[in-house]
């Protein structure tokens, strides 16, 4: 039964590749509306696969997914999703299917770029951006489409420390100011300082959830060198 206080509901989700065995096994989680949650787990635990299932990029073998549309997805490498030559054109590209007027499109683009502090970059070539700026353009694309849910797959993995901090605080502010719901895959424990809650995924199942600082302490006690 649908719970209107939740933005993401996953129940008993199962998925595996033909020659790779099971990736997710009866995986379940719930993310409240308007909150910023992170997804933790060792390499191969199924974090990125789960995110792609939520985004509709993969199809589950069994189980149920309920997620508020529209959904935005931010890849680990922004070069995999930025397709237009300039910042403004790339954000506008995602609006093509909505058949908006030129004025409406311009307003959406400007609103989105303003939200991620890139208004002055509207005519900037994509190739001239830093990695962190590219990730913010990807997020602006989701904002322009008025996405309810933002899924981010290790968006800081390729960024320097300053850009990492800038991006995670930017998403935290967007969740607080715009009512977005965000689910962020990470292997950086310091990023847990910025979220409302976290899930720990192991062997294709959520084995723990809740307070991010408690989960960080648990993971530190396990002495896992890299999540």
- Stretch (H or E) spanning 50: helix 47-55
Per-residue pLDDT of the chain (227 residues; tens, 9 = 90+): 468 899 999 999 999 987 767 799 999 999 999 999 999 988 888 999 999 999 999 999 999 999 999 999 999 999 999 999 999 999 999 999 898 999 999 999 999 999 999 999 999 999 999 999 999 999 999 999 999 999 999 999 999 999 999 999 999 999 999 999 999 999 899 999 999 999 999 989 999 999 999 998 888 776 544 44
| Rounded Cα gap, residues 39 and 167, in angstroms | 16
pTM score, two decimals? Answer: 0.93
Residue 37, beta-bridge partner list? 183, 197
Fold adopted by 1-69+148-227: Rossmann fold (3.40.50)
Do residues 26 and 203 lie in contact, with contact meaning Cβ atoms separated by under 8 Å? no
Query: Would you call the peptide bond into 70 cis, given omega within 30 degrees of 0 as the criterion?
Result: yes
Cα separation of 125 and 28, whole Å? 41
Domain spans of the chain, in order of start: 1-69+148-227, 80-147
Pair 24, 13: CB distance under 8 Å: yes
Query: Using CA atoms, how far apart are residues 38 and 16, in angstroms rounded to an integer?
Result: 23
Look at residue 167 in the predicted model and tell me its pLDDT.
95
């Amino acid at each position: 039964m649908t719970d209107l206080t939740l933005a993401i509901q996953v129940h008993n989700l199962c998925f595996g590749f033909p020659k790779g065995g099971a990736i997710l096994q009866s995986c379940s989680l719930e993310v409240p509306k308007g909150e910023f949650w992170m997804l933790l787990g060792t390499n191969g635990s199924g974090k990125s696969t789960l995110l792609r299932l939520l985004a509709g990029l993969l199809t589950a073998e069994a189980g149920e997914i309920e997620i508020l549309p529209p959904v935005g997805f931010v890849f680990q490498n922004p070069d995999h999703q930025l397709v237009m030559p300039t910042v403004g054109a790339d954000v506008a590209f995602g609006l093509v299917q909505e058949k908006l007027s030129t004025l409406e499109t311009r307003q959406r683009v400007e609103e989105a770029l303003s939200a991620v502090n890139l208004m002055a970059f509207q005519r900037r070539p994509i190739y001239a951006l830093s990695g962190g700026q590219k990730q913010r353009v990807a997020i602006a694309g989701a904002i322009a489409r008025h996405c309810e849910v933002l899924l981010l797959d290790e968006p800081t993995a390729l960024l320097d420390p300053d850009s990492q901090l800038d991006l995670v605080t930017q998403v935290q502010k967007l969740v607080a100011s715009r009512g977005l719901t965000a689910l962020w895959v990470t292997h950086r424990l310091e990023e847990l300082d910025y979220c409302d809650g976290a899930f720990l995924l192991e062997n294709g199942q959520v084995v723990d959830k809740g307070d991010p600082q408690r989960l960080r302490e648990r993971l530190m006690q396990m002495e896992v060198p890299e999540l």
